[in-house]
Amino acid sequence: MSQVREPAAPSPGLRPPAVPAALSHKDLRGDDFWRQLPAYRGLSAQEFHDHRFQSRNCVTSVAKLQEVLGDLVPASFYQDVGQGVLRSTMSLRISPYILSLIDWSHPVEDPLRIQFLPLASRWVPDHPELALDSLHEQEHSPVPGLTHRYADRALFLALDTCPVYCRFCTRSYAVGLDTPKVEKVHFGASTERWDQAFAYIASRPELEDIVVSGGDVYNLRPEHLEHIGRTLLEMDNIRRLRFATKGPAVMPQKLVGDEAWVGALLRVVERSRQLHKSVALHTHFNHPREITAITRTGLDRLAAQGIVVRNQCVLQRGVNDEPATMQLLVKRLGHVNVQPYYVFVHDMVKGVEELRTTLQQAMDLEKQVRGTTAGFNVPAFVLDTMGGGGKRDVHSYEHYDREHGIAVFTSPTVRPGAYFYYFDPVHTLAPQIQERWQDGAERAAMMRAALDEAVSRPRR
C-alpha cells in the first residue's frame, strides 16, 4: 500500500502567491458607469464616449448640474455647491466623464468631487501668507505668457482655457473665466503673442527645454498645436518639448476619436525624431479611479507611436493622501504606460486650504510609496516654493519648524543666496499656535525665528 506524501515545503526564497489586492491596479472600469446619472441613462457607449459629446456637455453651472443629477443628491447639496462656487477662484466646468465617475451616494467625501466641485460647508480660511500668484510666475515673465525661471527651460502658456477647471489650479490668476473672487490676467490663443514668445526663446541660446502649457493644450486647435510644436523644434537651441494636458484624466475620449488633434501631435513627435529631439506629453492624474478602460484605449494609441507620457500629481487631503491610494495610483499609471514623474505638495492656492497637507505628511507618504514598483516608475515628491524658488525635494529643507508649520528652503541654482518659505495649513496646528498666526506681529516673529534658524545652520 503506497504512502500518502505530505506536500513539499516551499523554498525559503519563494514568495507566496499574490493576493488579489496586489493586482487591483489592472482592474480598469469598463462598465456603463454613466448610466447612474439620470441625464445620461439612455446613452450608448458610442454616444457617451464621443469626444464631441464630452466637450459640448460639460457642466458649467449649478443649474446644469441639477439637470444632470436630478434627485440623486438633496437640494442642500446644490445650495452648498452654489455657495462654494461664489467663493471659488475658478469657474465651474466638469466633463460628463468625471461626473459619471463620482460616487453620488457619498459625494461629500468623494475624491473626484473634491477636486472639481467646491462646497462652502468644507471651506477653510486661506493661510495668512497666501498670495494669488504664490509661485511668482508673472515676476519671471519677460514677455506675456512666458515664464523663464530655470536657466535652460521655460514655461510657455499658449492659452488660458482648459477642457475642465480644477478648483486647485495654481494659475487661478489667469486660467478660465473671471469669477466673483478673481479678475484674471488673460493669455488667449494669439499668434501675435506667440510670436513674441518665439522671438524671446530663439534669442536665448541657454534655453533647451520648453513646457507648452496654459491652460491646457487639449484646447488648442490641431493646426495651432502643430504650429507651436514645429516652430519650437526648428530652433537650433531647443532639444526638448513637453506638452502639458490634464485631458487624458478628464476627457480621454479625445485621444480615441479626435483624429485631427492626435494627428497633429503625432506629426510633431515624428518631426522631433527626424531632428533627433524629444517630445513628451505630461498629464495629470490624481486618483486611480480616473483611469478606466477608455483611458487605456486612448493611451494605448500614444504608446503604439512610442510617445512618452508622464504624470504630475498634486497631493490633496481626502483625494490621495493615504498610502494605499497613492500606491494604487502609481501602479495603475505604470499599467497604462504613464510614467509617474512628480507628486507636488499642494501649492498655496486661494480658496482650497482644506485640500492642503503638511510637509511632514508628504515626506511620510513618500516613504510608503518608495519601493511600490521599479524606481523609474516611482514619482519624486517635490514642493514648488513660494516666491519663485522653483521645485525642491520635500526632504531638502534647511529648517522645518513643525510646531509652527514653517519650512524654509534654499534654491542654489535658481536664486543663489535666497530663502523661501512653505507653510503648513494653520488649521492643522495646535489651537494656541493658530491664534498666533492671526496676529501680524506674532506671525512675523515666528517666520523670522524660522529664517534665523535656517540661516544659522550649516549647509547640508
Which residue of the set 160, 347, 392, 421 is catalytic? 347
Q: Which residue has the cell 473672487?
A: 181
pLDDT at 17: 85
392, 412, 430: which is the final residue of a domain? Answer: 392
Active site annotation includes 313: no
Q: Are 186 and 174 in contact (CB under 8 A)?
A: yes
Q: Which of 249, 110, 246, 221 is nearest to 169 (CA)?
A: 246
91, 121, 151: which is the final residue of a domain? Answer: 121
Which residue of the set 97, 113, 166, 258 is catalytic? 166
Q: Does 179 have pLDDT greater than 80?
A: no
pLDDT at 358: 97
Which residue of the set 58, 169, 173, 218 is catalytic? 169
pLDDT at 277: 98
pLDDT at 457: 83
Active site annotation includes 178: no
Active site annotation includes 169: yes
Q: Are 299 and 380 within one domain? A: yes
> Average pLDDT in the 340-359 region?
95
Pairwise pLDDT comparison (173 vs 55), residue with the higher score: 55
Q: Which amino acid is residue 241, in one-letter code?
A: L
Q: Are 264 and 324 within one domain? A: yes
pLDDT at 432: 97
- Is 21 part of any domain? no
Active site annotation includes 246: no
pLDDT at 224: 97
Please state the domain count of the chain. 3
pLDDT at 8: 62
pLDDT at 1: 52
Q: Are 334 and 282 within one domain? A: yes
Distances in whole angstroms, Cα of residue 382 to Cα of each of 18, 75, 224, 297, 366? 32, 40, 32, 30, 10
Which residue of the set 384, 400, 421, 443 is catalytic? 384
Work out the pLDDT band at 10, boundaries 50, 70, 90: low
Q: Are 110 and 143 within one domain? A: no
Cα–Cα distance between 272 and 213 in angstroms, integer?
A: 18
Q: 49: domain range?
A: 27-121
Q: Are 361 and 412 within one domain? A: no
Q: Are 422 and 284 within one domain? A: no
Q: Does 415 have pLDDT greater than 70?
A: yes
- Note the pLDDT tens digit of each residue in 419-441: 999 999 999 999 999 999 999 99
> Average pLDDT in the 251-268 region?
98
Work out the pLDDT band at 187, boundaries 50, 70, 90: confident
Q: Does 114 have pLDDT greater than 90?
A: yes
